[in-house]
Amino acid sequence: HYWVEALKAGEIAGLTLRMYKDGYKGVLIGDSFVVPESEWEGMEALNFLGGSPIGNSRVKLTNAADCKKRGFVQENETPLEVAAQRLIKDEVHVLHTIGGDDTNTQAAELSKYILEQHGGKVVVVGMPKTIDNDVYPIKQTFGADTAAKQGAIFFQNIVSESSAN
């Protein structure tokens, strides 16, 4: 929410929020949308929701065989190059990821690739959010607590159902 205030105060300018549906899958197949500036203030409500309104895909840009098998890239393409071209075309300068170790590592690999192969710069800002709680040195990631609570509710429901009648 601070960035909306900074934008209004004239401290930052030229901001565009582009969201790629289903994460890296959306980057590879070009499925994204730009959030209208008129909607930015209401986005704070997303802080109180679990999961992601844009979905996820469990895609590794460094696993070319899997990306080809799933139809995200053509046989003669590499996922890193396709993703790099998409971010360059969409004029993405900051890639904000929300996920675990794989998500953030893939973003770092993509940023490095863009720098080395295209002389471009994409800054990665990673928000560790994973039910695995596997992002070192973060003690507890977003998502891990929610997963534990939902697991406990699920278990209570099973016990309740199995002990009924």
pLDDT digits over 135-145, tens only?
Answer: 666 666 666 56
Tell me what pLDDT residue 51 has: 60
Residues of the chain with pLDDT under 50: none
**Which two structure tokens, joined as six digits, stand for 76?**
């003669």
Question: Does residue 102 have an active-site annotation?
Answer: no
Tell me what pLDDT residue 98 has: 79
C-alpha R_g of the chain: 19
Catalytic position from the list 66, 132, 134, 145: 132
